[in-house]
Amino acid sequence: MKLFVAPWLLCSLVFLSLSYAAFAKDHIKTSSLSQFVSLADQIRANPGRADLYITRGNSYGRGKRFREAMADYSAAVTLAPDDW
């Protein structure tokens, strides 16, 4: 038994899946940006907390911003050298 899919339905499904993919990508970028802003605010308020630098460094690493990640990891090691 062959399954018949109307061309307009197939086009609609492709359009919807591409639209969702674009939405999800923008949502991830927005939530990542808000996470960076939140971490930056927390670090400004608590500059001695090495864990905040590690968390932000991990976020930078996931975003392939390796120089920023290394700078945050270095700051964390400087603040709490015995923890690492």
Task: Please report whether residue 9 resides in a domain.
Answer: no
Task: Please report whether residue 55 resides in a domain.
Answer: yes
Task: Please report whether residue 18 resides in a domain.
Answer: no
Among residues 26, 30, 84, the alpha carbon closest in space to that of 57 is found at: 84
For residue range 12-70, what is the model confidence (pLDDT) as tens digits?
A: 555 445 554 444 454 445 456 677 778 899 999 999 999 999 998 998 888 888 999 99
Q: Would you state the pLDDT for residue 7?
A: 63
Task: Please report whether residue 62 resides in a domain.
Answer: yes
Task: Please report whether residue 39 resides in a domain.
Answer: no
Task: Please report whether residue 34 resides in a domain.
Answer: no
Q: Is 55 helix (H, G, I), strand (E, B) or coil?
A: helix
Q: Which domain holds residue 64?
A: 45-84
Q: What is the largest CA-CA distance in the chain?
A: 68
The tally of domains found in the chain comes to: 1
